Amino acid sequence: MMNNNFYRKIGFGIRRQSQVPKDPLSWALDQVDKDFGIKWPMPVPSAESLRVKYSEFRVAGDKTLRDKHKDSRVAYEQALQKLGWELGSSYWENLELSARHYSAINSDQPFFERLWWFWGNHFTVIDKDWLPQFLTGAYQREVIRPKLEGNFADLLFAATTALPMLHSLDNRFSVGPDSKFGRSLEKKGKTPTINENHARELLELHTVSSETGYSQDDITHMAYIMTGWENPWPFKPTKFNKDMHQPGKHSVLGKTYESKSFNSKPTLEAACQDLAVRPETAKHLAFKLVRHFISDNPTSQMTAPIEAAWIESNGHLPTVHKKLAEVIYQFKDQPKFQQPEVWLVQVANILGINWPMPASMFQHDFKFEPSAEIKLISFALQELGHSPYRAKQPNGFSDVSEDWISPELLIRRLAISRRVIEGPADKNPYKQNQRQRYFDIDSIVALNFKNPEEVNALLSKVEKPEHKLELLLSSEEMLFA
């Protein structure tokens, strides 16, 4: 008998009245070669258009409005709030999240959607300086997602040089001591310094991991290679500033790269190419993929096939993802805790709920704060402690169950599931098709759980359909897949 947990382990479960794939593994394998785009029935602004709004907002907040209202903090905060409404500081993140969830539920590629979420978290941009409100969603949509069709090296370079990542890790403050700008600082009695944040995360988090045993010199020389890559004030597009770049030869993990002061792009690209195909990177990322999809405690039996696929294909992501799907299928009986955001979308999907808010409800005049209905999605994720664009640390959100299992967080899941099921206020027509559609619990259980008899036995302990539903959504069977 097929273990239907597989569809929640690899995607978001089977929606009510949907057909279960006859060949689950082929169904998954067919999803990873090409991205057929985000399924969202309204335009989503480009990253560049949002960068322009972000720049205007930050310049006003840091300079224009601050100077204008320097004698009144209240007046400054009111003016900044008004400008935020006009530029969408409380709108764009909710739009991005809604497009993300809508696509997860309505796409024919739920495994691809899950992979996109994984890599977005791998290349985390931290919650800093209004990035989530304007840029992080577009970064994941325009930088991360398209690169999943190709090689990890290209994804790595694109993420490394993306404006939100550069700003998040302060690379624009990294000045080569022998650069033109560095020498000019010395003439003024100032000491030019490199910022190692980005270089350290590139090695530790994004590629080879700390277990490789790289040295401080490796970090320093990687930082030298990255000097000059910046998002210049006032938050202009990413560019390479040759005047800040440290020229010369730089050795990273035994490989020497020669930086020409007039152009470091080939040097950084070459370093990313080399890091992407190292066996240590294959090992680190195979471990992370297994820990996200299969088990908190990956075994070599789980990781070795993915490592081998990575090395043999030089990090070709569709090849790696297909091997991952095979391993997930092999270990489909291994229970894996589902992160809160994944769980939330699975709840909406298997119950057949219209989540998120329909695109028609996102009409907004930018004169006031967005409605509570528009902001419901960010509210729900904040309550669950898992706002995907608001990680506090560069290592992103944890995949390990012990970081998520607590009485408070489980109670929040139950409360949020009630809120999602109920939908918005009665005055909205959206709620009219929500009532009573989600109580066909027998079919929900049959479609999405490996042990429907055991689950139904658990649910038989309560009588009311709504109580059965609450018990199901908070059960161990639902929290794990």
Q: Packing angle between helix 441-448 and helix 465-473, nearest 10 degrees? A: 20
* Mean pLDDT, rounded, for 22-26: 96
Closest by Cα among 71, 243, 58, 85 to 163? 58
Environment class of residue 257 by beta-carbon count within 10 Å: exposed (0-12), middle (13-18) or buried (19+)?
A: buried
- The single-letter code of the amino acid at 386 is H
CA distance 302 to 281: 16
pLDDT in tens, 49-101: 999 999 999 999 999 999 999 999 999 999 999 999 999 999 999 999 999 99
3-state secondary structure of 390: coil
3-state secondary structure of 259: strand
What is the torsion angle, in degrees rounded to the nearest 10, for the CA atoms of residue 442, residue 443, residue 449 and residue 454?
Answer: 20
* Per-residue CA distances from 180 to 45, 193, 237, 246, 257 (Å): 38, 13, 22, 9, 20
Query: String of b and e for 338-348 (b: at least 16 CB within 10 Å)?
Result: bbbbbbbbbbb
CA distance 283 to 300: 10
Residue 105 has pLDDT above 90, yes or no: yes
CB neighbours (10 Å) of residue 90?
18
What is the torsion angle, in degrees rounded to the nearest 10, for the CA atoms of residue 447, residue 448, residue 449 and residue 452?
Answer: -30
**Tokens standing for residue 283:** 């090992």
User: Rounded to two decimals, what is the model's pTM?
Assistant: 0.96
DSSP 175-206: --TTSHHHHHHHHTT-------HHHHHIIIII
In total, the chain counts a number of residues equal to 481
Give 428's pLDDT tier (boundaries 50, 70, 90).
Answer: very low
CB neighbours (10 Å) of residue 69?
16
pLDDT computed for residue 122 by the predictor: 98
* Mean pLDDT, rounded, for 311-333: 98
pLDDT in tens, 338-363: 999 999 999 999 998 889 999 999 99
DSSP H or E run through 250: strand 248-252
- Report the percent of the chain where pLDDT is more than 90: 86
